[in-house]
Structure 1
Amino acid sequence: MNTDTKNRVATALLLVLLLTLSFTATSSIRSMDDQSLGPSENIHSLSAGLPDEPTPLRRAAFVSYDPSSYVDDFAYMAAVPTSVYLYNGTQYISPLIHSGGSDSEEWLISDWVDYLGVSEPVTQAISIGDFSDFEIKAIQYQIGTRLFPRIKSSDSAEIAAQLALMDWTSSTNVVVALSKDDFQDLLVTSGSATHTFDSPSIIPIVSSTSVTYGTTQNVTFTPPTSAGWMVGTFDWEGTELLTHTLYDPLGTPVDYSVYTQVFFERNTAYVSALVPLYFWYPCSTEGVWTMALQRLSQGSTPVSYSINYHPGLSQSVTVPNNAKWLNVSATWDNSGTDLNFALVNPEGRLVTWAPAESLIAGPLSSSMNVPYPSPGEWTIIGAWMNPESEQNNVQLSWSVSSLPSDLQAYLESAANGAVLASLLNAPLLYVGADAVPEITSWTLSRLGATDILLVDPLDIHSAQLESQLSGLVSSVHLLNNYSAVTHAIHSISGQHDLVVAVPIGTGDELFGSAAFSGAYHGAPVFSLTGSDNQMTTFAEETWASYFVGPEIDIYVQQRWTTRTENGWYDERIPNRYTMKSCADRFRTFAIERGAYVSNVSQEVLIFSPTCLLKVSFDRALQSHFSPGRIPASDSALASVFVNRAALHRFLFMTADSAGEALLSLYAYTEGMPFVDNFYNGYEINQIEDSLTAIQDGGFSVSTHVGFQEVFDTLTSQIALWSFSTHGTLTAAPRDPPDRPNGLGIFSLRDVDTNYGYEHSESVRDYNNDHLVNPVQFETEAIHHITRTTDDLEAVLGNIGSPIVILTACLLGGSRLPVALMEHGAVGVTASPRTVYFQPAGMLSILFTQALCEGNATGVALSRALSLVSSDFTDPLESRDPRDYANQQVLFGDPSIKLYLPDDAPRIPALNPTSLALDGHSPARGVPSVLAFGATDYLTVPLVSLGADFEYYESSNFSTFEILFPLARTVLVEPGTIQAFALSLSDSSPSINQYVRDGGTFVILGVSGNLSWSPWPLVVDTSQSGYSISLSDEGHPLVSIPNLLEETASYQGYFSSYWQNLTVLAEGSGNPVMLAGVVDSGKIAITTIDPTGQTRTNMIENAINWGAAPSLSLNSIQMNQYIIWEGDRVVITIDITDRVGVGIPDVSLDILVGNTSVEVIPLGSGQYSVTLSEDWTQGQVGTFDIVIHAQRDGYDTLSLVLVGFITIRPFPLAAIVILGGVILVSTVGYFYLRRRRDDTVSWSNKRDKKTKDERERQRQEDERFDPKEFFGVS
């Protein structure tokens, strides 16, 4: 397809979108409800949607991170369409970093620069926001190019306008969204209450029933209103298998048991005493409860049961709309007592609890915290679990923090506006809910906009805004509901993905990175809080059972006996009914937004730290949805995660070992038959099956379980790490357990072998139980060693972009997955709870096989889970899944694939500044040259040179003021500077900032008053002439591409000027042309008024000068800063270009005071000056340093560092006096010690261990009894 045809198709596509998203009415305001959306087939017929692979651009953008401001969040979203955009079936992409200066960010940018390489360097780099000079220099040095323009404003609408003007010369179609830079702080309300237990007692009920196969036996009971908790025990003689389901008075199942657990609990081969059926639950709702019992084999079973009601308390708390936190704390004064607490939502559902007496009893305090609780009357339930005939006073306190009521509306508007603008290859501009900012109005006019798409899914904007917008363009198309937004985005992208996030409310929002992901995936971005926090409340409910901690015990026969994870409570973690309710609610959430597709597996990116939105929510969405968590705690880190994911197709090949994988199988399954959920049979050989899959994928595989070898291999930047081992959260049990975000501890060997084994590498499964578990055997337990997340992080740097499979207990509830992502991992699978050998091993194999067959991580995990474990979106009918404990979740973007370098060749990166995409001209929206004057003095030569420029006069100076920060060079016509004196005086700070930020400002033929100048300059007009002499012929302004002729005329000279400017030309011995580098930019000012070809040559030099290299002082250091006369002083000077690359072979002259000193080159742009002892002797005072550096083709560096060195007179008298005092004191001290017969010694008598002794002690400290840590089944 030729270019013209492509352009016509793109135009037609946009017209179809606009038409299908609007009424055919004559009004210019067109609302897009569901009925007006029109058939999406028309769009699909013109667009293939997003391509399989994006095209990289040699570009990078950086937004300054401010965790307490919303401006940077909206600025980031405004920048998304400049970094990711779709045009004629090609998706162009480049990094957009919310820059906080982390190591993770540095590693990402390093990989990006590495991918581009020397032959394709970054050609466009911009900064947005308030960066320090140090930060700018660091970024420029890393990317190898200057940041320009540097867009600075405290107004997000102005930032969006500048971004649009920077990259678009014109755009008839513009996306408009809402922004707001200031929101109210979180509003906190609080309350408290006191409750007293006065000699309460447990109320028991004892009875019996009979359970017959084929029928459900319902045992009903009504707890007394005084009860807070109930504990039921149902027992029977014999080993028949019974299961149960407990229903609350609302008919909601809240507790249960499953066959796969009861089988072991009623089997004397596994337990010493048969385990009854238990329930243990708060009295969350008043009324009749039902215990439904089922027998799983023929016959009848008599069952005796008891139900104990524990004395309780109840307290209601009102939660308003838009709540972010409900925080409850409780204290009591009777020591040694156990109190349970629970929080019940207005619908009567248990959302969270603080269960006591799991592992550690009697803390005298407790707390519960619910993020994003639904509005209404919540109930705090408390219960005294071991009541005495005593009093117990309970103090309850609670607080509710609320988000700004309109925050979600603005974030969703801007995020979806960014996505839509990206897909339409259109700029994004901002408006308020009630008015159009002047800069937005001006930009719409400048771009020639005729059609606006106003994105406001919650429809909070006013009629006044619509009226203002309709007066600016021909048509305003309203996307004022969720379905309209979803349809518009999915229609263009051809995708079905979703992106969800939660608002933070402190100015550190994740919606910017969510918008970047949405643009990359072609997906709408929604706030998970919705209008009523129902979804987030359901999400939190899935985590409640995780507060029951694991009983960490090595012996299998004790596993089922206690109310813990690994005990009889195990199958409730998580509760399958709350998980299914959450999945159903999310399906409704998607349907309400027009985003649910029943016959397609949908990727869902979830943006939230794990402490706000627990990972059990992600697992609940499996397997119709393929969720992936972006677990960043702040927006800066989130941007690193999403950029590494979106750029993974390119960055993976920068890894040192991109074609290699690591298998670290310490504890695993071998030779075990396995039947999945659909009765497919397997034999699990975890080593061979994993090895075969990875090798068949084309990767070379190394195998290690020695901790040092594993860590070393990770640092070599492999593509895949599969790690099967024991894991836990913390070194000692805690109640509640430290999840999420526990430390994370895992097992390895102290000495390397290929795999873990019980006897030897040839006899891996010594006891033939098909479970290779080295810690069970004494000969191997002595080699067992643990390492933590902290240990791993201490040795890791940039690990490349690996995918990591963690087959271990509990590590998904620790910091390990996030830590691996911070170091570069693009995908990590892990479970937040205990997993068991066979099903976990099977899941690992299936995931590995699917991954190596080319499937994305999200699809691979969904398929594996649906075969092996629970699918909460499409559960099995009338039977339990093969396993309930595989609660693995995916950390990272679910679209990530495992690439082999040979099969995924390098995609060349394009120069964005050479693209022309229907008015979208990256970095060229504003011409590179702005000229202003009063005649054709500048325009004629600029036209003849074919320069990209715009011309301004005093009549349109206001336009110049808006645009000049975006132009690389500003030229001023001779003799016209005075005409702009008043305006320039007002703009002087802006001009100064423009130059310092990297702009080039050239004033020709200056004369008269220069009081407006940011730099001190005085022109004496008494002298003129018709010839000049060049003082610095190697300077690029007078030599590249034309050597300036000396026949040029001048009018006046500079009688005084800023010391940091260099004289380039003189007339009659006086300076007539000055130039200098000011921070990142350049200033040139001359009294020369060239004509004819000389004028053209000078203008050509001027417009090329901005790109010419410069000499800059990167740093200057002294070996000491307190200097006495007679000291030897070494000064090290680092001369670089403007991006920080050292420049050798510089002619460098240094004056200290008025004395020239010798300069010694050290290499790589470093130079040394030594002030000898003789030089400083007698040189008392403060001295300036004058630096003059020259090299042909580079801007000369002239710099004066005022008062840089201070040399002090040598304090001989003070030293003599002080020495005498010390001498007298020392003699007196020893005299007194000797009189007391004390031993006098200068040696340190502390016992010092040798290095070997310290290493042996460290190893001894790390050894422990494995029984204390890891459960085995």
Structure 2
Amino acid sequence: MIVALMMIVAPFLSAAGSGGAVTTQDSLDPNGFLGLSERSTVPVSRATLVAFDGEDLMDDLAYLACVPASTFYSEEDGVTVTSPLMFYQPTMDSPSDAETALDAGVGIEYLMQDYVTASGSRLSSVTTVDVPRSEAEGMAARWNADQLVMIKGGEAAGTAARIATANWEVARTAVVAVVDPSVSPMDDVVTGNVSGTVPAVGTVGGEFSGSIEPSFHSESSHNFDVGDQYKFVQAVLEWSTPGPFPGLTQRGKELGMHLYQGEIMVALSTEWNAFSGPLDTAQSFVYTPGPWRAAVVFIPTMGFNAPGYDGPSYASRVFEAAQYTITYDLFGGVDMPIPDVPAAGARNARFTLTWEGGRELGLLIRGPSGQEIASAIGGASPGRHELEVAELGNGMYTASVINLDGQAVEADFELEYEWTETMSELEVEGLVGATEAAVLASELNAPLLYATPDGVPGATIGAMDTLGTTDVHLVDLTGNYDRIIKEMGSFRGAGQPGIAITTHRDLDVLISEIADLGQRGREGRQDVVITTLNPWDYWHTNSNAENPQGERWGGRFFGPAAYAAANHGTPVLVTEADPRLSCSNAYHNVYWLRAYAGRSPAPVGAMYLTGQQVVDAIASYGLDGEGMESLLTVAGQFEIGTAWDRALVGATTPGRIGGTPVDASVWISRCNTYPLVIFANPGVDQSIDPHDGKRIVGSRSTRTLGTLRTVEPETEVQMDNPVAFTWACYLYKFNERASEYWGASYQAADGTIPNESPSDHPWDGGTLPDICEDVFEDYSRQAGYGEAESAGYDATVENLN
């Protein structure tokens, strides 16, 4: 293996006099470790940092050019060679509490402290791109780098050429991506209108009554049919409990209602009786007519620690069956397709519905898969509804106009719409192509260079001549390949080797080719990496802040996503390149803007429909193999809304790396090298622990007659193999207490009952543990870990770091 690595690394990644490239001496372990993609991964003792600039795209394109220089696959040895690749920003001098989430430079220092330790307290080299000299020299000194390679930034083609010649002495194969680095934000307003008539369909409905006892796993269902003429359903659940004092006897009880279209839940009530009383409402667009079902569940709430909730006689008196009544109504309406199709990244959409005649109409805006994006049901000014939608995807949208007043009389209406398109087709095609090209270059162990729609820059020609390039993979999704091929064909004169060009012009084919290359060295596993071209919306940690605070147009996540994909051996799916992904992305962004502060639950039907769109897109690219794929989303919470991840649970194993673009690059670098840097953990190696094995254990307190009293102060405790615990929940012996208090025990979906079902694990003593926070402590203690319990923010962060 060592000899083979010398053959790989030295000829293809040795520097032309600059000393910035990987050499065999850089390898930390020639045998490597099993990496993210289940390929063998060989880490090297170097790091690359690209200065982050939130105002333009030059840093993003430079980062892409660094991907194959930092991570590449050796086909001869079946290993991935990798090292950290990060956007760089210095640590903030004195950030406010609200700005702590923006101080990404701290993460760089934390990672590099670990990486340098794991590299034997030195690095072979540090490479920087567009980082000021004093800051680059400071990093090289702090990290004990033998060499510092500083690469000048600037326009994309020149920077990529300098990165290539600093990292390859010879490169017979190169990847050239066609991208226009001069793209800028667009501000094109699209307007239009449509007219229509709501059909003469009156409201019909029905009613069900029943009773239900407290249960964590059973329900009471009632079926009804929805005809083709109906577009909207609303169900209201009213309930009561026995006894003369309902305000008292209903405390701690919670009935809920679910609406099903066939076997798929499309809506649920979210009211809590402590605030709304014994009344629940669920509404849904009629996605498919036919059999529907309303189900009632009786799930106890967790408020049993209040005074007066402890006596068994009280429990036996209040937790009897609840009586309920469901009233449902079906409303007619009409679907009106929006004739204009938004481009990816359309923002600030407005839909205005107007009508006459004193009628009551409702408005739903729905996406291509039918998902409800925004609605106005009731509460409008007479004859008018106006809906604002923050973002639309690249797909066909529909306005559904609903007859809410029950009259079987037609009603005429007009719908006006407008939105602003912010991304040009050239921007999307160029950046998507460059992102895929970076991963392709990594798989081919080749440098990434750039051409523009106007031709091949001199810097790119010069780099290919310097490197002796004879084979070019041209990635061009912009449609300018003929001109570029002709231009490349004229580069070399008589007696010089020509250039053979392989073109990649179809995104679907390119994704498939990268996926096939990524299967080398492993057995059939398929990972998926998804990102977006949406600019970064930055936010503050203050819970009262109106987030996001603003946009950094040049802050993008496609660079770190390409770096992650190169280590996973998979292409990148960019949402703007596929209408299914684009529209699902837009939905989750719109929802998350409404929900992030209060974490209100997402509409179930829309979650299912958008999640299915994503899964369908993955399958269409051939990335949906047997079992669940590991899906990594690389984007901030406002670039791909957080609920996106939850929509994909079950069909995939989803994960997310977000924060700022700098954060994302740091966390991906840590994940890529995790099997190495974990052993730089002072928790397992006290020789590198500045606290000599001591960790903070929080204070212990008790409450007597409403007064909080500290009985043990916060202190430092010596411990081996510490695990940080911080309690944010209050579940304690849940089923033991629930069975006495509610007369019901929680049962998991697999039929097991905590605290009752048998367990064959010796640590459990024959019975599954209860749902109880201190179970984690029991397990960690029996495994030989120390428990660093803390609840305060500062102590918890200190223990973790």
Structure 1 length-normalised TM: 0.42
User: Offset of 1:511 from its aligned partner?
Assistant: 0.9
User: Offset of 1:294 from its aligned partner?
Assistant: 7.4
Cα distance in 2 between the residues matched to 1:443 and 1:272: 69
Stretches of structure 2 that go unaligned for 5 or more consecutive residues are 13-33, 92-102, 196-200, 211-218, 243-254, 298-322, 355-359, 408-412, 493-497, 536-552, 685-720, 736-744, 756-769
Cα distance in 1 between the residues matched to 2:84 and 2:566: 13
Residues 986-1006 of structure 1: per-residue CA shift (max 9 Å, x gap): xxxxxxxxxxxxxxxxxxxxx
The count of residues paired between Structure 1 and Structure 2 equals 622
Cα distance in 2 between the residues matched to 1:515 and 1:550: 27
Aligned 8 A contact 2:337 2:396 in 1: no
Cα distance in 1 between the residues matched to 2:643 and 2:751: 27
The 1:716–1:329 alpha-carbon spacing in structure 2 relative to 1, beyond 3 Å, is same
Cα distance in 1 between the residues matched to 2:422 and 2:44: 42
Aligned counterpart, 2:533: 503
Aligned counterpart, 1:483: 512
User: Offset of 1:401 from its aligned partner?
Assistant: 2.0
User: Offset of 1:479 from its aligned partner?
Assistant: 4.1
User: Offset of 1:95 from its aligned partner?
Assistant: 2.5
Aligned 8 A contact 2:268 2:282 in 1: no
Cα distance in 2 between the residues matched to 1:317 and 1:508: 33
Matching residue within 536, 540, 543 for 2:582 = 536
Higher relative contact order (CA 8 A, sep 6+): 2
Cα distance in 2 between the residues matched to 1:142 and 1:340: 63
Cα distance in 1 between the residues matched to 2:294 and 2:238: 11
Cα distance in 1 between the residues matched to 2:53 and 2:680: 31
Matching residue within 75, 78, 96 for 2:62 = 75
Matching residue within 632, 638, 645 for 1:605 = 632
Aligned counterpart, 1:466: 485
Aligned 8 A contact 1:99 1:105 in 2: yes
User: Offset of 1:421 from its aligned partner?
Assistant: 2.5
Aligned counterpart, 1:526: 573
Aligned counterpart, 1:676: 748
User: Offset of 1:394 from its aligned partner?
Assistant: 12
Aligned counterpart, 2:126: 125
SS in structure 1 of the partner of residue 174 of structure 2: strand
Give the letter aligned to residue 366 of structure 2. V
* 1:593 matches 2:593: no
SS in structure 2 of the partner of residue 307 of structure 1: strand
User: Offset of 1:164 from its aligned partner?
Assistant: 1.4
User: Offset of 1:527 from its aligned partner?
Assistant: 0.6
User: RMSD of aligned C-alpha atoms?
Assistant: 5.3
Aligned 8 A contact 1:354 1:368 in 2: no
The 1:399–1:374 alpha-carbon spacing in structure 2 relative to 1, beyond 3 Å, is same
SS in structure 1 of the partner of residue 732 of structure 2: strand
Aligned counterpart, 1:63: 50
Cα distance in 1 between the residues matched to 2:520 and 2:175: 16
Aligned 8 A contact 2:564 2:668 in 1: yes
Aligned counterpart, 2:609: 581
* 1:700 matches 2:786: yes
Cα distance in 2 between the residues matched to 1:191 and 1:70: 30
Aligned 8 A contact 1:513 1:639 in 2: yes
Cα distance in 2 between the residues matched to 1:576 and 1:476: 49
Residues 124-163 of structure 1: per-residue CA shift (max 9 Å, x gap): 223223x446644654564456985432243212222211
**Any residues of structure 2 matched to 1:1222-1233 within 5 Å, and which?**
none
Aligned counterpart, 1:100: 89
User: Offset of 1:465 from its aligned partner?
Assistant: 2.7
User: Offset of 1:69 from its aligned partner?
Assistant: 1.6
Cα distance in 2 between the residues matched to 1:687 and 1:305: 40
Matching residue within 765, 770, 776 for 1:690 = 776
SS in structure 2 of the partner of residue 680 of structure 1: coil
* 1:448 matches 2:511: no
Aligned counterpart, 1:321: 343
Aligned 8 A contact 2:754 2:771 in 1: no
Cα distance in 1 between the residues matched to 2:731 and 2:484: 63
Cα distance in 1 between the residues matched to 2:55 and 2:471: 35
The 1:152–1:698 alpha-carbon spacing in structure 2 relative to 1, beyond 3 Å, is same
The 1:97–1:351 alpha-carbon spacing in structure 2 relative to 1, beyond 3 Å, is same
**Any residues of structure 2 matched to 1:379-778 within 5 Å, and which?**
379=399, 398-433=418-453, 435-456=455-476, 458=477, 460-469=479-488, 473=498, 475-480=500-505, 481=509, 482-491=511-520, 495-504=525-534, 506-531=553-578, 533-541=579-587, 573-599=601-627, 601-633=628-660, 635-654=661-680, 656-657=682-683, 659-665=721-727, 667-670=730-733, 672=735, 674-683=746-755, 684-705=770-791, 710-718=792-800
The 1:141–1:107 alpha-carbon spacing in structure 2 relative to 1, beyond 3 Å, is farther
SS in structure 1 of the partner of residue 733 of structure 2: strand
The 1:382–1:543 alpha-carbon spacing in structure 2 relative to 1, beyond 3 Å, is farther
Cα distance in 2 between the residues matched to 1:272 and 1:350: 25
Aligned 8 A contact 2:352 2:387 in 1: yes
User: Offset of 1:53 from its aligned partner?
Assistant: 6.6
The 1:171–1:315 alpha-carbon spacing in structure 2 relative to 1, beyond 3 Å, is closer
The 1:159–1:253 alpha-carbon spacing in structure 2 relative to 1, beyond 3 Å, is same
User: Offset of 1:436 from its aligned partner?
Assistant: 3.0
Aligned 8 A contact 1:355 1:548 in 2: no
SS in structure 1 of the partner of residue 69 of structure 2: helix
Residues 97-125 of structure 1: per-residue CA shift (max 9 Å, x gap): 22233432244235414542596433422
User: Offset of 1:583 from its aligned partner?
Assistant: 3.4
The 1:356–1:186 alpha-carbon spacing in structure 2 relative to 1, beyond 3 Å, is farther
User: Offset of 1:370 from its aligned partner?
Assistant: 4.6
User: Offset of 1:521 from its aligned partner?
Assistant: 1.9
Cα distance in 2 between the residues matched to 1:415 and 1:311: 44
Cα distance in 2 between the residues matched to 1:546 and 1:618: 12
Aligned 8 A contact 2:239 2:279 in 1: no
Cα distance in 2 between the residues matched to 1:588 and 1:168: 40
SS in structure 1 of the partner of residue 394 of structure 2: coil
Matching residue within 219, 222, 244 for 2:225 = 219
The 1:342–1:75 alpha-carbon spacing in structure 2 relative to 1, beyond 3 Å, is same
Cα distance in 1 between the residues matched to 2:36 and 2:139: 34
Stretches of structure 1 that go unaligned for 5 or more consecutive residues are 13-46, 196-201, 333-337, 388-392, 553-563, 566-572, 719-799, 801-1273
SS in structure 2 of the partner of residue 77 of structure 1: helix
The 1:340–1:490 alpha-carbon spacing in structure 2 relative to 1, beyond 3 Å, is farther
* 1:343 matches 2:365: yes
- Percent identity between matched residues is 17
The 1:312–1:128 alpha-carbon spacing in structure 2 relative to 1, beyond 3 Å, is same
Cα distance in 1 between the residues matched to 2:150 and 2:361: 58
SS in structure 1 of the partner of residue 126 of structure 2: strand
Q: Which has the larger radius of gyration?
A: 1
Cα distance in 2 between the residues matched to 1:405 and 1:257: 39
Cα distance in 2 between the residues matched to 1:346 and 1:654: 49
User: Offset of 1:609 from its aligned partner?
Assistant: 2.0
Cα distance in 1 between the residues matched to 2:167 and 2:668: 23
Aligned 8 A contact 2:161 2:459 in 1: yes
Aligned counterpart, 1:970: none
SS in structure 1 of the partner of residue 446 of structure 2: coil
Give the letter aligned to residue 638 of structure 1. A
Cα distance in 1 between the residues matched to 2:732 and 2:294: 35
User: Offset of 1:280 from its aligned partner?
Assistant: 2.2
Aligned counterpart, 2:189: 189
Aligned counterpart, 1:556: none
